[in-house]
Amino acid sequence: MAMDAITTDKELANSEPLKRPTREEAEDAVRTLLAWAGDDPRREGLLDTPKRVVNAYREWFQGYDEDPVKYLSRTFEDVQGYDDMVMLREIDVESHCEHHMAPFIGKAYVAYMPTQAVVGISKLARVVEIYAKRLQTQETMTSQICDSITESLAPSGTAVLIDAVHQCMTTRGVHHPNVSTITTQFTGVFKTDKDLRDRFLRLAGR
């Protein structure tokens, strides 16, 4: 009986939309963390820190307020017979992991094989940025970018590679500053055609 009650409570909590805290509540939370760290949030050097942190969070996590599909909805069909891959290299990735809220920074490489239409290249970079400005794992972000391109553009294949350094490994825990994480996701012809996949990896410097 008790287990059923616990399950019901969890299901109820998951079904209710989360109320976004006010700015004042967010700043109070920062003051709590400052005090927990052992400092005094009332001292002069920290008086404006809660406001600055909340402003930074608004910038770092603005991806929650944006829809990547919107940026992929405007396509161009006049490509003069072009039928090869479209690829963007070295897109800056600045994100935060969901486990420690620590930054991970690196580069993304994105390609797709258009079928009937192409999208503005800046829109692909924007999709990467939107997903980067959310809390998640690098693996999840790689999959999300690939899925949004695949679902919006219906290409014959999509390829995504992200290479990033995680501060949760470099500044805490195992303290390995020279380790980067590489994640990939391939669909369609990039998954079935080894030569095409290898060409993408070569162009990505891998």
- CATH 3.30.1130.10 domain locations along the chain: 70-203
**Of the candidates 60, 61, 62, 63, the residue with the CA atom closest to the CA atom of residue 131:** 63
Dig out the tokens for 2 from the structure.
């008790």
Average pLDDT over residues 100-107: 95
Going by DSSP bridges, is the β-strand pair 157-166/103-113 parallel, antiparallel, or unpaired? Answer: antiparallel
Tens of pLDDT, residue by residue over 160-202, are: 999 999 988 888 888 888 889 999 999 999 999 999 999 999 9
138 belongs to the catalytic site: yes
Dig out the tokens for 48 from the structure.
């404006």
Question: What b-and-e string marks burial along 89-109, b requiring 16 or more CB atoms within 10 Å of the CB?
Answer: eebebebbbeeeeebbebbbb
Task: State the pTM of this model.
Answer: 0.86
Say what the pLDDT of residue 172 is: 81
Which CATH code, of 1.10.286.10, 3.10.20.30, 1.10.287.3510, 2.60.20.30, is assigned to 21-60?
A: 1.10.286.10
Average pLDDT over residues 61-86: 87
- From 25, 90, 94, 98, active-site residue: 98
Which CATH code, of 3.40.50.300, 1.20.1270.30, 3.40.250.10, 3.30.1130.10, is assigned to 70-203?
A: 3.30.1130.10
With residue 145 as reference, give the H or E element that holds it.
helix 138-153
Mean pLDDT of the chain: 91
90 belongs to the catalytic site: no
